Amino acid sequence: MTQTIEPGNPEAPTQPEDTGTGSRPAAAIPGIIPAALKRRVPKYSDLAPLMQFKKPEFSRAARLRQASTIWDLRDMAKRRTPQAPFDYTDGAAEAEITLRRARQAFLDIEFRPGILRDVSRVDLGTQILGKPSRLPVGIAPTGFTRMMQSEGEYAGSQAAAAAGIPYTLSTMGTASIEDVAAAAPDGRNWFQLYLWTDRDRSLELIERAARAGNDTLMVTVDTAVAGARLRDVRNGMTIPPALTLKTVLDASYRPAWWFNFLTHEPLTFASLSRYTGTVADLINSMFDPTLTFEDLDWLRDTWKGKLVVKGIQTVEDARKVVDHGADGVVLSNHGGRQLDRAPIPFHLLPEVSAALKADNSDAAIILDTGIMSGADIIAALALGADFTLIGRAYLYGLMAGGRAGVDRAIEILEKDMLRTMALLGVSRISELTPDHVRLLKK
């Protein structure tokens, strides 16, 4: 009869069974120390393979290689960038509740992996708005980008082109539509539009974007007035940064940033030649608070490429903009930079996905806000997003190391996504389903 002993059973024998020889192993004899546990003076031949001292590296490339997460890039960016431009990127509106909630939303999930799947090859490629993208993420529109680091939009667009993903130039970008197209001629460039009170100026921008080869127009609709970005107020943030006593003192700790800023071409914009003042003043003076769905109809008639509406925060508005001709929606609360306590895009995602499917709509669902890892991106895709956009995540890389820093940010996200997909037992984006993610209840 065979006796089965469960793991951890206190009745399990702790000594080897008697073999009938009457002998006991040395390890079992009290007072006898096995040879492997006796102390000795190490030999050089034993130490030599362990001694792998490397020459210290202090280059930017070496520092970037040490960054394993987007948070690491953020730490580097904070050390290298003056407080005002860093806070402009890092901050949000009012008490910054929305931004914290958006990031927390990605933490409050549980992945549900499948096992015994062949994940020897994982493909992150996808289709978005009629064309392929090598990764399910693109670069979101960000304003005043050359203020964060002198390579600005040129670094972002070139890194995106090299990675095979879309790049979106903001109306408030600090490089012209034409210059970005020339910098990344083989990239897929999109243009983000803020409708101005001056419709002729808006039309001019649309025409320039079309001539420069942009295939998608992304109109942002959540900036009727400027949000209360209190970090900018406290820092006395202006465009361009002003040389006050405070900024001069701040510059003394970050001379490289100021050297780059002062020795490159002054900030120019995608949509206006020069501007001096606060961001809030610019938004309130130029953007149109009377914008309605009739204006969206006008855009649909005017723009012949793909039209995406950014700033969708309710299911009803997602349905309505699609009814008015939008090819896609961007679930976004402007990175928490407009209305504090706004809906969280990741929470809204399943409802919008279900609603558009019920309407038999093929409109693309794109998500931004709060993404800080490739796992965040995979979770969004599983819950119904077709694509995602990163803003702060790539800007941290830009501030940490220019074009090379943006490349590193994309590389970090790609590795995250590949690892997460493989561990989920998924080899293609199309295999992701809501069953792979569970929202944890608080």
Is 334 a residue of the active site? yes
For residue 268, the one-letter residue type is T
Chain centroid to CA 222:
20
69: its two tokens? 């997460």
Q: Rounded to 10 degrees, what is the CA torsion of 346, 417, 89, 156?
A: -130
DSSP string of 89-113, one letter each residue:
HH--STT-HHHHHHHHHHHSEEE--
Helix (H) or strand (E) holding 293: helix 293-302
What is the Cα Rg of the chain in Å? 27
Indicate the pairing of strand 137-139 with strand 387-390.
parallel
356: its two tokens? 């558009």
- H helices within 29-165, ranges in order? 44-47, 60-66, 70-80, 83-90, 97-107, 145-148, 152-163
Measured distance CA(408)–CA(71) in Å, rounded: 12
Measured distance CA(304)–CA(321) in Å, rounded: 16
DSSP state of 123: B
Q: Return the residue matching tokens 């792979």.
A: 436
Question: Choosing from 264, 324, 334, 347, which is the catalytic residue?
Answer: 334
Helix (H) or strand (E) holding 387: strand 387-390
Measured distance CA(351)–CA(312) in Å, rounded: 12
Helix (H) or strand (E) holding 220: strand 216-220
Identify the CA nearest to 95 among candidates 284, 341, 265. 341
Specify burial of residue 152 (Cβ count, 10 A radius: 0-12, 13-18, 19+): buried
User: Largest Cα–Cα distance of the chain, in whole Å?
Assistant: 102
- H helices within 345-431, ranges in order? 345-358, 374-382, 392-424
Contact by Cβ (8 Å): 398, 145: yes
Residues annotated as catalytic (active site), given as ranges: 334
